[in-house]
Amino acid sequence: MTNGEETQNKSFLESYFKLSENKTNPRTEIVAGITTFITMAYIIFVNPSILKLTGMDANAVFVATCIAAAVGTIIMALYANLPFAQAPGMGLNAFFTYTVCLTLHYTWQQALAAVFISGVLFIIITLTSIREKIVDALPQTLKFAISGGIGLFIALIGLKNGGIIVANEATLVGFGKLIEPSATLTLIGIVITAILMAKKVKGSILIGILVTTVIGIPLKITHPVPISQLVGLPPSIAPTFFKMDFGGLLGLGKAGVVGAIVSVLMVVITICLVDLFDTLGTLVGTAQKANMVDENGRVKNMPKALICDAVATTVGSIFGTSTVVTYVESTAGVAEGGRTGLTSLVVGVLFLFALFFSGLVGMVPAQATAPALVIVGVLMLGSIIKINFEDFTEAFPAFLTIVIMPFTYSIANGIAAGIISYPIVKLVTGKGKKVHPLIYILAVIFIIRFLILPE
């Protein structure tokens, strides 16, 4: 490349991403992008391991995960010019698998249809004033509780998948046999990842997955593949591409047409609520730390960022993966100085490169991804410190939201418990007028759902 070409490229990057205006430069943005990718790349291992339990082809899910992450993040770069990365969300992939498919007995094709509908609904919500109304309606307490409850839920899944927690007839659950190779490897992985996190090593979760996978070889849990097979052309996306079943989604017939509609509403509302507040929380929290807000404290290009998130979800469902969200790991890149879409462009390109490493993904055992679920659970649980436990009318709905999720193995049940109990305790204490009307409407919908579909 000649000096003239290099200058021209820098000029393009400068003008498109407004680097000087955001007090950054190409080198800083590239380093920030690499940092963000390293911290969130674990999802390409974890997502297939969770979604394959529904019967989905793990290799196709791997491709869908990479494509959805790349498309969503690149759109974020080019349209919103923000340094935030996207990928299928932890928690929502568990909801897809354990609640929608394994509990409500939808097929994964029908579940993908629900994800697509939620993505389209999210686009409509973002383009209208409905978004602001929903944001204003849901109490802060429930927002924090939902995040904390999801943290406990996915941590439980990790401990179960790793053999640390097992079923027990006397006590419901109990410790597994920790001397068994499966549980031992999971424990080693948790300790390694926790140490890396404590030392604030970049990419701790990804490093933990890879190291645990290697340790699993002598334990005969990891089955290595030849080096020549680690890198190659991406697997076929055909098993999951455009497999959405809209007809079957409403034709389940568990409790007639009304029951089917209520069930679908519950699924779609849950996906939308979790996606909306997960993304809003990440955008607001990260932007405030990096001073990327306007004079009114609003995140720059927030509506565009939410559109990117919604489009990524619809694209992801078409290719064959669960809901796409904006990743809190984006804070790692922002901490490195990332301030523009050039950071997220780098992340998106790296996800495309990851498509050629499917052989490595196939090697990773459940015991290596289980620690990642536990650690992410710890991080998500941190939100509960913002809940006002001194006020019982705030603490009780939050408590129900948090504990019902892991105890019933359902994110939707936890959200429903919180939304139903919140207006009740407010009404009986004379604070009913402080509750937004939308919460009353949602509470009625969830009550009807429990009456018609008690599971």
Question: Mean of the pLDDT values across residues 171-183?
Answer: 90
Which element (helix H / strand E) includes 260?
helix 256-289
Reported as a pLDDT band with limits 50, 70 and 90, residue 376 is confident
3-state secondary structure of 296: coil
Nearest to 380 by CA among 117, 153, 60: 153
Q: What gap in Å lies between CA 188 and CA 280, rounded to an integer? A: 35
Mean of per-residue pLDDT scores for the chain: 88
Question: What residue has token string 């679920």?
Answer: 373
> Would you state the structure tokens that stand for residue 165, as one six-digit string?
């927690």
**pLDDT over 80 at 370, yes or no:** yes
The CA distances from residue 223 to 119, 139, 366, 373, in Å, are 38, 48, 12, 21
> Which residues touch 386 (CB under 8 Å, ≥6 apart)?
140, 144
Q: Which of 50-64, 126-140, 166-180 has the highest mean pLDDT?
A: 50-64
Strand partners, 325: 87
Instruction: Report how far residue 301's alpha carbon sits from residue 126's, in angstroms, rounded to the nearest whole number.
Output: 12
Backbone angles phi, psi at 86, to 5 degrees: -130, 155
Question: pLDDT-derived band of residue 150, with 50, 70 and 90 as boundaries?
Answer: confident
User: Looking at residues 343-355, what average pLDDT do you find?
Assistant: 96
Q: What three-state secondary structure class fits 21?
A: coil
Residues 348 and 74 sit within 8 Å (Cβ to Cβ): yes
Closest CA relative to residue 69, chosen from 361, 363, 334, 311:
311
Among 270, 224, 260, smallest CA distance to 365 is for: 224
Say if residue 341's pLDDT is above 80.
yes
Q: Rounded to the nearest 5 degrees, what angle is found at the Cα of 219, between the Cα atoms of 218 and 221?
A: 110
* CA atoms of 259 and 72, how far apart (whole Å): 34
224 pLDDT more than 80: yes
Listed in sequence order, the residues at least 6 apart from 301 whose beta carbon sits closer than 8 Å to its beta carbon are 80, 81, 82
Is the pLDDT reported for residue 285 higher than 70?
Answer: no
State the Rg of the chain over Cα.
22
- 167 phi and psi, to 5 degrees? -70, 145
Which pLDDT does position 455 carry in this prediction? 56
Mean per-residue pLDDT for 413-422? 92
Q: Which of 269, 331, 349, 336 is nearest to 71 (CA)?
A: 349
Reported as a pLDDT band with limits 50, 70 and 90, residue 47 is very high
Number of helices and strands (H, E) in the chain?
Answer: 20, 4
- Looking at 250-328, which runs of residues are DSSP E strands? 324-326
Higher pLDDT residue, 343 or 167? 343
CA atoms within 13 A on the CB side of 389: 7
Taking the C-alpha atoms of residue 23 and residue 74, their distance in angstroms, rounded to an integer, is 21
Read off the pLDDT of each residue in 162-179 and give the average, rounded to a whole number: 89
- pLDDT of 371 reads 92
Residue 373 has a CB neighbour count (10 Å cut-off) of 29
User: Cβ atoms within 10 A of the Cβ of 174, count?
Assistant: 11
Position 8 scores a pLDDT of 57
Residues 301-322 have a mean pLDDT of 93
User: Which pLDDT band, with edges at 50, 70 and 90, does 146 fall under?
Assistant: confident
Contact by Cβ (8 Å): 118, 92 = no
Pairing of strands 324-326, 86-88: antiparallel
Distance CA 187, CA 182 (A): 9
Q: For the residues 340-358, what does the mean pLDDT come to?
A: 95
Burial of 433 (0-12, 13-18, 19+ CB in 10 A): exposed
Give residue limits of the domains in the chain: 21-452
pLDDT digits (tens, 9 = 90+) for 229-272: 788 899 999 999 999 999 888 775 555 667 777 778 888 888 88
pLDDT of amino acid 287:
75
* Cα torsion through 307, 309, 311, 315, rounded to 10: 180
Cα–Cα nearest to 353, from 34, 35, 76, 79: 34
Determine the Cα–Cα distance for residues 210 and 377; give it in Å rounded to an integer.
19
Q: What is the mean pLDDT of residues 178-203?
A: 93
